A and B are shown apart, each in its own frame.
Chain A
């Protein structure tokens, strides 16, 4: 057992799909479920799971791609920092090609900017240690899954006495937007496929308030059989008139999550209001660097001029992130906006809905 291949077995996948179809027949009205996490979106398209579902079960993609929900002004600041001669920008690969208002990190690198991709934020700390004469800025983007790793990198930099390591933080927490979207009458969501690895940190119980409001929630893994079983549990909740938090992903997620990771988040970050592309400002849904760690905060410590942000004309990324429209409704999709020359973030990130639909769903 390697905890992955077992959940890709064809017989199990088709059996679960059949079970969902049989259950859905018991209910004439169509059902709409939202998968919140970009990795779920990717899995759903990659394995063609939509084609296995009955017509009455509709899946909409939510705001769970961190790169996609990060507004342009963040990227514009990162790009401005990349122009400084003594700054090294370090990031996960996804950010490189995201267009800011007027440029991208990839374009800045082509112009001679020092922009590097790493696997772990600890690689960025090591880079700072080796290059004491440079200011090394890690782009801290991601949800609760990633935030503890970034927080740990700051603690590591402090333990090693570095004064040239910074984080440009744009971390977001996911329950807030789920609550906002669950209130949207136009979307009329019948249940959430709750994010898998975010839940490894925050625990399944984090969705209890949402369930208490009447929305069925199932914490679901990322393999194809996981996603279908998550959907089966959601359909069953609706049929039985329940709205609970169920945990399909018990091999990874517990009710309370990873307490140590949350403690590290609490130590380094404090909650603040966050702007989400497509949704707007959600109170308390950002994690910003706490005053005690201000010397590691790139936004506070490195002064740059950032021009007024410009959104990309015609791009419907914002509506797509709210599940309001599909990529096919966007006038740019597969015309001027492609993975080779993306216009909106949803096409760039490997987890963006547009990228998933472009690769697997056309």
Chain B
């Protein structure tokens, strides 16, 4: 094989190898990057609030809301970005009567790994404890009726509360705003 041909093959191999590497990196990091960008935009609309482990409540989505694509105008959203580095996360709140509500958990890769909806909840409130694989099974004294194991140390809690009629906004929003998330303390819930 001549030196020229060898160089062409080497160049093609470098090009192909880099292309495959960049493709895989871009593909796997895209959901995370898009999620971070969306959360940055969401947070920008609510200044002076903790960045993580705190629930933020939003009103009815309108065309003016440009942070997350394809929002549902029928739902009131509450979001909590979590970081389980310093302990498990406790999510709690009241459940509205006769309307849909769900508590959905997403890993940092955007997978929806846990959902609890009002049909699964006995009573008029919910409580979910979120831990990571390394700590699953271990307890610090705190318990919750529902438990979830996050596939990643960071992620998102998204609570959806259905607002079927605008006339019910005040009462449904009042229930929505009881939703909270925080890191579990050693002395229980």
| Chain A complexes with chain B | no
- Which residues of A are in contact with B by a Cβ distance under 8 Å? none
